[in-house]
Amino acid sequence: MTVLDGLWRRPPRVPARMPEGAAVLEARGVSVSLGGTPVLREVDLTVRAGEVLAVVGPNGAGKSTLLGVLAGDHAPEQGSVTVDGEPMYSWSATEMALRRGVLLQRVDVSFPFTVTQIVRMGRAPWAGTPAEDWDDEVIAGALAETDVEAFADRVYTSLSGGERARAALARVLAQEPAALLLDEPTASLDIGHQERILGLARQRAARGDAVLVVLHDLGLAAAYADAVAVLSAGRVVAAGPPVEVLTAERLSEVYQYPIEVLRHPRTGAVLVVPRRGGSGTANLPGPGPTGTTVASIT
């Protein structure tokens, strides 16, 4: 019997709750090329339980490819990815679905499923486990969290782009994985739903989940992430707390555009804005309060 046969035949191993700060997903020395072009170059990254990690960087930096590698959708040419401390290939497909849920930038559906049916698909990995008894409760909670209850019975393909994005996120939340991998979850949302969705990411981290979110909005990354990784040309050029990583000098160099990093005059929260007129890039004052909501101009 092959290793693959064993993965398919054994009952799925349900993940245990990881202690805060433990590595749930980890990439070490990961390199990937697409069409002969290097996209990721020796990337090291750790997604930890109880934390929101924001991955930022300009277009073409490799953010979505990195998310795909951590999700198991792209095999690295070099390096390794571990899940719960074990090689990714040692887990069956169901076991991986219990450990990581993925929200892609675009979710296409070919059949006329309702929103509730789409969200219910997220519960498939839990079939045959005691958690299956909670399916209806979990689905109802995911619909409420993402503010899609009002159109739960509508056909998914009839929804607007923002409504589809929230319904797709509800499916991932209903999956209840140990790690959430979210690729641009706020891209098609209005400002209120952007704040709500990233607030949900924070709530999931607070209960012990690991959350990786790819963002273009640097202000949202500063406001909601515990840690930020900046990608540039396929490399992680900086990783750590937002106040240390999101500096005017670094961001201006990475984005090849003058960027200012300021402090909110009342709360002290970090603000990241493009420079529009005036002279000189503002210096970053000393640390201010954390955990505050940040408004950004992008």
Dist CA 166 CA 162 (whole Å)? 6
Q: What's the pLDDT score for residue 293?
A: 33
Dist CA 281 CA 233 (whole Å)? 24
- Give the list of residues 6+ apart from residue 59 with CB closer than 8 angstroms, or none: none
Q: What's the pLDDT score for residue 290?
A: 37
Domains of the chain with bracketed CATH: 3-274 (3.40.50.300)
Q: Is 148 in contact with 115 (CB distance < 8 Å)?
A: yes
| Predicted confidence (pLDDT) per residue in 109-139, tens digit | 878 999 999 999 999 999 988 999 999 999 9
Q: What's the pLDDT score for residue 1?
A: 46
User: Which pTM does this prediction carry?
Assistant: 0.86
Confidence of residue 284 (pLDDT cuts 50, 70, 90): very low
Cα–Cα distances in angstroms (integers) from residue 129 to residues 11, 124, 159, 207, 225, in the given order: 10, 10, 33, 21, 33
Residues 191-199: what's their mean pLDDT?
Answer: 94
Cα–Cα distances in angstroms (integers) from residue 289 to residues 134, 220, 223, 266, 269, in the given order: 39, 16, 11, 10, 6
- State how far Cα 211 lies from the chain centre: 5
Per the document, the length of the chain is: 298
